[in-house]
Amino acid sequence: MRNEKEMYDLFLKFAENDDRIRVVTLEGSRTNINIPKDDFQDYDITFFVTDMTSFIENEKWLDVFGNRLMMQKPEDMELFPPDGRGFSYLMLFDDGIKIDLTLLPVSMLKQYFTWDKLVKVFLDKDNIITWNVVPTDEDFHIKFLTERMFDDCCNEFWFVSTYVCKGLLRNEIIFAIDYMNNILRKELLRMISWKVGTERGFDFSIGKKYKFLNKYISNELWNNLLATYSMNSYEEMWKSFELCLDLFRQVSKEVAEKLKYAYPKYDENVSKYLLIQKEIFTKSK
């Protein structure tokens, strides 16, 4: 696998020799000093160019980066509509290197710096960037919660828990799993991150998709969280669902106590409802 210096030299040499490329930036985890470096980090590169069409119409220039195993072009896909910000090439190479390369017009340079603060400038041929650019992950710090945000999270969790229950009662396990993973778990993880914030402060990040969460919570909470992912049968699904409810209740009560926020009464109402529904289901079997 090519090392970081080799890759950076490759990007810069290519850009320096192509007059259409005026600015080169690096984004993502490789700019974040708070994330340990490893070989699995992507190279998130942006070329600011004077003529995007000439790049897009002839992709031969991409060969300079190596032998591609696969490429995805999000803006050229029908199923996943583009966001209109540029044109991207997500590439996996035979030595394991992954490059996410985006083309943007030079005219969008200032706007680009409002999208993300984890940015490092590699090349600025025309000295367009007159301000100091220092990569920071502050946009990804744990967000402090208002009492309204706390209640919104609780409300979403407990209301949608009835959908998971409904799926299980109907023997529609995929339906139940979908609501469990995409909504209940999302709010549980959000609440756990708030717990971390109330204990350690709101001035740091626990990583994309909560990937560093295990470093900031107890082993018991971590192991219980992992146990909620067991959903390969209706019996396991009920156990995971009930454990998810218990964890959310436990953590949200801790957060409410720390911040002196009111804990919602509808937890008790919904919990009684869910218990009755499960008892009816169990007796019918």
| pLDDT tens, residue by residue, 114-173 | 888 999 999 999 999 998 898 888 888 999 999 999 999 999 999 999 999 999 999 999
Residue 156 is inside which H or E element, if any?
helix 147-169
- Of 139, 161, 191, the last residue of a domain is 139
Predicted confidence at residue 280, as pLDDT, reads 79
Q: How far apart are CA 180 and CA 188, in angstroms?
A: 10
Q: What is the tally of structural domains in the chain? A: 2
**Domain range holding 206?**
141-284
Q: Please, are residues 65 and 121 in contact by the beta-carbon 8 Å criterion?
A: no
One domain, residues 152 and 274: yes
pLDDT per position as a tens digit, 192-236: 999 999 999 999 999 889 999 999 999 999 999 999 999 999 999
β-bridge partners, 104: 48
One domain, residues 132 and 189: no
One domain, residues 29 and 110: yes
Q: How far apart are CA 76 and CA 18, in angstroms?
A: 24
C-beta pairs of 181-187 under 8 Å, 24+ apart in sequence: 183/156, 183/157, 184/157, 184/160, 184/244, 184/248, 185/228, 185/244, 187/153, 187/156, 187/157, 187/160, 187/248
Nearest 5°: phi and psi at 45? -120, 140
One domain, residues 69 and 189: no
One domain, residues 104 and 152: no
What's the whole-number mean pLDDT along residues 169-178?
A: 95
One domain, residues 121 and 197: no
Distance of CA 180 to the CA centre of its chain: 18
